[in-house]
Amino acid sequence: MKPHIVYLLTLSTLFAQVPYERIARAPAEPESWLTYSGDYQARRYSTLNQIDRSNVNRLKIVWMYQIKAHHKFETSPLVFDDVMYITEPPSDVTAIDLRTGRPIWSFRRSVPAVPVCCGQVNRGIAALDDQLFIGTLDSHLIALDLKTGRVRWDVVVADYKTAHSITLAPLAIKDKVIIGIAGAEYGIRGFLDAYDAKTGKRAWRFWTVPEPGEPGSETWSGDSWKHGGAPTWITGSYDQETNLLYWGTGNPGPVYRGDVRKGDNLYSDCLIALDADTGKLKWHFQFTPHDVNDIDANEIPVLIDAEFRGKPRKLVLFGNRNGFYYILDRVTGEFLLARQFANQTWAKGIDERGRPIPNPATAPSPEGATVYPDDDGTANWFSPSYNPQTGLFYQNTREKGATYYLTEAPYMPGRQFLGASRRALSGGEPWGALRALDSLTGELKWEFRLPTPPWSGILSTAGGLVFSGDMEGNFFALDAADGKLLWRLQTGGPIWAAPITYRSEGKQYVAIAAGSAIVVFGLN
């Protein structure tokens, strides 16, 4: 077939729609990458196996796309119908031709100077029907025409002047777009929102900090709930059978001053399960009640069905920033297991109900208190991966502590609401590892050590491979069974993003955001 004919055929499928039913069947369409984590179960796993243990050493760069900004590049692309869609920091979107790496259209948005804790970043987009959705740094949710990148609607989610910001990829479910919020370092009151995908009208809001009189409000002292934090800044997962949405929440505010917010501070540091149609709370599980160490539960809940202790169960797996790996029953929220997977000193252990036994010596104090992990956590927003072939849960892990000195934390709109200063530890260096845990026991099966605590997500595939990266720019592939290094490439820039894979014109590719570029790899 002549190239120009191929191209015409490609154009005919270029802008096909992405109905909900198609996203729901994402695992059966491995040639595409349809949600932030690849599927609603958030496994970041692909059944593609053309690239495998035997040939991964032949991976070469196929094309690169350079962005203009130099902020941290954290996007996880979507790929379908011969187009890759990426976000660029702070709040831009570009559609890229899969065959050539050339841009098709770009959406550029100027944003004001929003106070953000951790950089002007964006992690991705959602697709539904003929639209794309992006949350912006200044807390708008915008629907774009899939074909042109032009704005269909633009709604204000929250006021950026009070330091509300959006950095996560939305999640599109049925006829709604789910979007979370960031800003707990500045005293916001967190929530999770759903918007009508066609009109942009808000369908529901779940406040992650209840107001007086609501269930859970008894866990806040005085008026502390007003600036109680509990943000929702990383994309959750969704179970079509139960119609439940699973989302992690972050730290309470002020971050380090527990004395002004006595109580458990629900629903901070929780996994919440909400009815996707109404936003009503079905259950919650709080990993870290009354957190004073900034150990958010803004991680990815991974959904699997498996036999657990002799009984088939619907499970949710959760590698927590607090250093423990959890398994819960995702229908009921029942605590099933917690196992430490990284160094931590904030808890003396986890009791039989899943509640931690805090170590008060690690709470910030005027004299300084040292704690593991530091406020970047052992895990964080970077994606884990679950591989059903190996039964392993792959988790990048940070081994780093710090000392915290208690300070005042007056609330002023738009200003930091922390209550501590921080000092790095001396006499050693933080480090990291890609760890493979038995998904049903949390037992460490192998680890691949990294000299620097990582911020990269993980992809695993049916080719028996695990892909990830490091802060020095290496992108690498490991044997999913034993962690043996099979391939690596120095990309030249730190990797703050998670890999994806897709198939185009019969060939499998792997893509990663590294430095200021999207790099796409294929077999030579």
Catalytic (active-site) positions: 294
Instruction: Calculate ∠ Cα 224-227-228, nearest 5°.
Output: 70
**Helix, strand or coil, per DSSP, at residue 456:** coil
Select the span of 10-18, 53-61, 378-386, 413-421 touching another protein (CB under 8 A): 413-421
What torsion do the CA atoms of 42, 44, 46, 51 make, to the nearest 10 degrees?
180
**Residue 113 engages another protein in binding (rule: CB under 8 A):** yes
Q: Kindly tell me which of 160 and 204 has the beta carbon lying closer to another protein.
A: 160
**Residue 472 engages another protein in binding (rule: CB under 8 A):** yes
The token duo for 77 is 């692309």
Q: What is the rounded distance in angstroms from the CA atom of residue 434 to the CA atom of residue 145?
A: 38
**Residue 221 engages another protein in binding (rule: CB under 8 A):** no
Distance in Å, CB of 422 to another protein, minimum? 5
Select the span of 62-70, 242-250, 319-327, 377-385 touching another protein (CB under 8 A): 62-70
Q: What is the rounded distance in angstroms from the CA atom of residue 87 to the CA atom of residue 94?
A: 6
Select the span of 149-157, 239-247, 379-387, 426-434 touching another protein (CB under 8 A): 426-434
Instruction: Name which position in 9, 66, 424, 505 contacts another protein (CB under 8 A).
Output: 424
Distance in Å, CB of 460 to another protein, minimum? 18
Instruction: Name which position in 96, 155, 179, 420 contacts another protein (CB under 8 A).
Output: 420
Instruction: Name which position in 243, 359, 416, 441 contacts another protein (CB under 8 A).
Output: 416
**Residue 11 engages another protein in binding (rule: CB under 8 A):** no
**Residue 405 engages another protein in binding (rule: CB under 8 A):** yes
Interstrand relation of 45-46 and 459-461 (parallel, antiparallel or unpaired) = parallel
Distance in Å, CB of 38 to another protein, minimum? 25
Q: For residue 518, give the amino acid letter.
A: I
**Residue 110 engages another protein in binding (rule: CB under 8 A):** yes
Instruction: Name which position in 25, 99, 339, 415 contacts another protein (CB under 8 A).
Output: 415
274 and 283 Cβ atoms separated by less than 8 Å: no
x/- contact string, 67-106, with another protein (CB under 8 A)? -xxxx------------------x----------------
> Residue 170 has what DSSP assignment?
P
**Residue 112 engages another protein in binding (rule: CB under 8 A):** yes
Instruction: Calculate ∠ Cα 309-342-482, nearest 5°.
Output: 70
Q: Kindly tell me which of 29 and 159 has the beta carbon lying closer to another protein.
A: 159
Near another protein in 299-358, by CB under 8 A: none
Sheet architecture: strand order including 507-514: 59-66, 517-523, 507-514, 500-504
386 and 318 Cβ atoms separated by less than 8 Å: no
280 and 273 Cβ atoms separated by less than 8 Å: no
Instruction: Calculate ∠ Cα 67-71-76, nearest 5°.
Output: 65
Instruction: Name which position in 26, 142, 179, 450 contacts another protein (CB under 8 A).
Output: 450
x/- contact string, 148-187, with another protein (CB under 8 A)? -------------x--------------------------
**Which of 82, 108, 74 lies closest to 94, judged by CA?**
108
Number of C-beta neighbours around residue 307 at 10 A: 10
Residues sharing a CB contact under 8 Å with residue 103, sequence separation 6 or more, in sequence order:
65, 94, 95, 96, 97
Select the span of 4-12, 28-36, 302-310, 410-418 touching another protein (CB under 8 A): 410-418
- How many residues form the binding site for another protein (CB under 8 A)? 48
Distance in Å, CB of 517 to another protein, minimum? 15
Instruction: Name which position in 24, 64, 111, 331 contacts another protein (CB under 8 A).
Output: 111
The token duo for 42 is 């958030």
**Residue 427 engages another protein in binding (rule: CB under 8 A):** yes
Distance in Å, CB of 377 to another protein, minimum? 14
x/- contact string, 239-278, with another protein (CB under 8 A)? ----------------------------------------
For the residues of 23-89, what is the DSSP string, one character each? HHTGGG-TT-B-STTSSTT---EE---SS-TTTGGGEEEEEEEE-S--S------EEETTEEEEEET
Q: Kindly tell me which of 292 and 302 has the beta carbon lying closer to another protein.
A: 292
Q: Kindly tell me which of 102 and 423 has the beta carbon lying closer to another protein.
A: 423
Beta strands in 334-391 (DSSP E): 335-340, 347-350, 356-358, 369-371, 385-387
**Chain positions contacting another protein, by CB under 8 A:** 68-71, 90, 110-120, 161, 402, 405, 407-410, 412-416, 418, 420-424, 427-429, 449-452, 470, 472-474, 476, 488, 490
